[in-house]
Copies of this chain bind each other. A is one copy, B any other.
C-alpha cells in the first residue's frame, strides 16, 4: 500500500472576482458561446487569495493497494459516494495523465493503475458555509492523487474538473484563473500572480456568522444565474475584464486603498447578480449587512480604506486589512457583536494584540450592539498552495486503509 497525505489550503479566499459568480464552477451557456458543463469553464477570468493552512485547512489522504476491492471515499469521517461525477472526473483525469506519462507500458516500480484507491478528507472548518470548502477539498484531492501516482505536472486544469475555484487553490498567494478560449478547456488554468510572501502586511479576518449549510449550493446557484440574470452577462463581458486588470495592478503595487475599494465593490456586484437571478439567491443576511455598514463607518471615520469586506456564497465576511489595523478592528467587531458564550475563543488563528478604542471612534463607528451575531473571528493571512504532510501520524487512513478512529 502506498499512502500520501496532503494538507492543503483551505479557502481560496477570493480577494476579488473570486467572489464573482463566474469565478466558480460555471456551466456556461451565455450568448456568444456555450461551454461544456462537465468541463466547468468560467464566463470570465478571476482572482483570489489563497489563505494560510495554519488556520483553515483540508487534509486529504489517498492510498492504493492490491488488497482494496473498490474505490472508497470518506469525508469528515463519514463514508461518501465515490461515484460523484466530480470526484470521478478528477480520478479519471489523474489516471489518464499517469497512463500517458508511462507511455502505455506498465512500470513495475510504479503504482499499478489497476489498484483501487481509498481517499479520506477532513476540513478543520464548517463545510458548505461559503468558506470555499469544495475549492480546498478538490485541490487537496488532486494534489494527493498526483503524488500517489508520481505526477509532477501542473494540475490546476484537473482540479478545475472537481470544483472550478479549486484550480486557484493549487497555488499559494494571489492567483488568477484564466477564463481561456479553447472549447476543450485546456487553457482554462490557474496562474500565480504573486506569491504569498509578496505583501507581508496583508491580513485576513474571517467573521464567521453562521455554521449552517447555505440554502443554495454555489454551483447550482451560478447555473441559474447564468441562465436568468441579464446583469450577470453584462458584468462578465464588460465589468470584470476591466476590474481584473486594475486589481492585478493594485496587488503588484501593494496599494491597499485600490485593492480594498475594488474588493468591496466587486463583492457587492457579485451579490447583486445573485439577486438578479430568478428566483433570487440571497447569501447575505441582516448580520452581513451590519458588518458591511460597520466597515463603511470605520473607513469613513479614518478617512480612507482601512478594512475591506468580501463575501462568498454565504453570510460570513472576509475582511482584508493591514497588520497595523487588525487589533483595533477586531476590538470594533467585539464591541459591535459581543460574543455570547465563547468569549475566550472569540478570536482564533494568529494572535491579535489588544487595542483601546478612542472615544471619538466609539462615537462615530459603534451603534447598538448585536450580541452573538458573529460566532468567532479567524485571523489569518495569505498562504502557500497544497503541502505534503510529512508527519505520518497525521495520515487519515490507517495501515488497514480505513479511516483511523479519532480519539
Using a CB–CB distance below 8 Å, which chain A residues touch chain B? 228, 230-231, 234-235, 238-239, 264-265, 268-269, 271-273, 275-280, 282, 285-286, 289, 292, 296
Q: Is B285 a contact of A268 with CB atoms below 8 Å?
A: no
List 10 A-B residue pairs with CB atoms under 8 Å apart, sorted by A's residue number.
A230-B234, A230-B269, A234-B234, A268-B275, A272-B272, A272-B273, A275-B275, A279-B292, A279-B296, A282-B289
Residue ID in chain B nearest A299 by CB atoms: B279
Q: Are A275 and B272 in contact (CB under 8 A)?
A: yes
Chain B CB within 10 Å, residue with most, of A269, A278, A289: A269
Tell me whether A271 and B275 are in contact in the complex, defined as CB-CB below 8 angstroms, given that A231-B234, A286-B285 are known contacts. yes
Q: How many copies does the complex hold?
A: 2
A interface, over-half SS = helix
Complexed CA–CA distance, A364 and B279 (Å): 17
Partner of A265, one of B264, B271, B278, B285: B278
CB-CB under 8 A for A231 and B285, given A264-B278, A278-B264 = no
CB distance from A373 to the nearest CB of B (A): 12
Report the separation of the CA atoms of residues A222 and B132 in the bound assembly, to the nearest whole angstrom. Answer: 34
- In angstroms, Cα B146 to Cα A177, docked, is 62
B residues within 8 A CB of A265?
228, 278
Residues of B close to A282: CB separation below 8 A: 289, 292
> Cβ of A276 and Cβ of B268 under 8 Å apart?
yes
C-alpha spacing A265/B277, complex, angstroms: 8
Contacts of A278 in B (CB 8 A): 264-265, 268
Closest Cβ of chain B: how far from A90's Cβ, in Å? 34
Chain B's nearest CB lies how many Å from the CB of A55? 28
